[in-house]
C-alpha cells in the first residue's frame, strides 16, 4: 500500500465515525490541515486509526507513546 492509499482508508474511517456521532446527535467535525493533533472534535478530541486485518486477527492497539513522548491514552483528557 502507498501512503496515499492508507490515508484515504484512514480518512474513510474518520468520516464513518463523524457520521455515526452525528446520527447520535453529537456535533462533530474534523479540524483542517495535515498532521493535526486529533482527527475529530466532538466534546472531546479523538485520533482514529484503522487496521485492515483487525476483524481477521482480533488485534487491538492502544497508543501510549509516539516519538519517545507520552501520547494516545496516556495524554487523553476529558475537556
Span 16-51, pLDDT tens digits: 888 888 887 777 777 777 767 777 777 656 677 788
pTM, 2 dp = 0.51
53: which 3 cell numbers?
A: 486485518
Question: Comparing 59 with 34, which gets the higher pLDDT?
Answer: 59
Q: Nearest-CA neighbor of 49 among 16, 9, 10, 8?
A: 10
Task: For residue 4, count other CB atoms closer than 10 A to its CB.
Answer: 8
Q: How far apart are CA 74 and CA 79, in angstroms?
A: 15
Q: Are 29 and 17 spatial neighbours (Cβ–Cβ below 8 Å)?
A: no
Residue entry with cell 475529530: 40
Amino acid at each position: 500500500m502507498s501512503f496515499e492509499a492508507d490515508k484515504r482508508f484512514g480518512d474513510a474511517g474518520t468520516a464513518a465515525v463523524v457520521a455515526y456521532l452525528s446520527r447520535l446527535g453529537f456535533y462533530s467535525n474534523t479540524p483542517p490541515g495535515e498532521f493535526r493533533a486529533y482527527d475529530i472534535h466532538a466534546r472531546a478530541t479523538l485520533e482514529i486509526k484503522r487496521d485492515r486485518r483487525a476483524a481477521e486477527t482480533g488485534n487491538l492497539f492502544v497508543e501510549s507513546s509516539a516519538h519517545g513522548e507520552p501520547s494516545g491514552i496516556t495524554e487523553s483528557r476529558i475537556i
